[in-house]
Amino acid sequence: MTNKLYFKTALFNLSLLPLYFIFIIQYIDISPVLDFHGFETFSLFSLALLNSNIKILFFIFLILLGFFGLLLFKKNNKYNRENAKEFQSIESKDFDHMTFLSTYVLPLITFNLNDAHSFVVLVFLLIMIGAIYIKSNLYYLNPTLLLFGYKIYKAKESNKNVVLISKSSIETNCTKARYINLGNNIYFLKDTHECN
């Protein structure tokens, strides 16, 4: 249970990478760089640069954790392949990534992180959104995964609705594939091919 929770949390953090990059671009303070010759030593320059970019360091840390989440996702999908199953009524759900971006990411860009209260509210909102995201097993809605070539599909398997994540495009209504069960009817597909 702990491993699954960690896995879902890492994927939620990964989904917010675009937001972190936007915040870095918006709030990075390069004034110490422009005034580099005004510092007596490189260590004083480094200290001034770090002090003026504490929040940026926080987002860089979250980005590094996000890439660790991506490595975790890739590692998780290398092992324990199950025998092939047929998946039918397949439809692409890549557009759902745009819904995630417009609903959760874009509104958060408006926060003024130079204000301490706004920063605390932002962190609280991210934790609350993350809790909902993890509880409702929406970790497959991840625009960052889409950027790395992963595609999302809704399908039916034995009359139950499932979510498929695949590195390859599925252009048929029925595919047969080996898979890795990520839990909660979410499958990562391997070796996909059209049903006979």
Q: For each of the chain's 196 residues, which pLDDT tens digit applies?
A: 446 777 788 888 888 898 899 888 888 777 666 565 655 565 655 666 667 678 888 888 999 988 888 887 777 666 666 678 888 889 888 777 777 777 777 788 888 888 888 888 988 998 998 898 888 888 788 888 888 888 889 999 888 899 998 888 888 888 888 888 877 888 888 778 787 6
What pTM, to 2 d.p., does this model score? 0.76
Q: Which token pair is 71?
A: 């490595």
Q: Where exactly are the structural domains of the chain?
A: 2-194
**Three-class SS of 94-110:** CHHHHHHHHHHHHHHHH
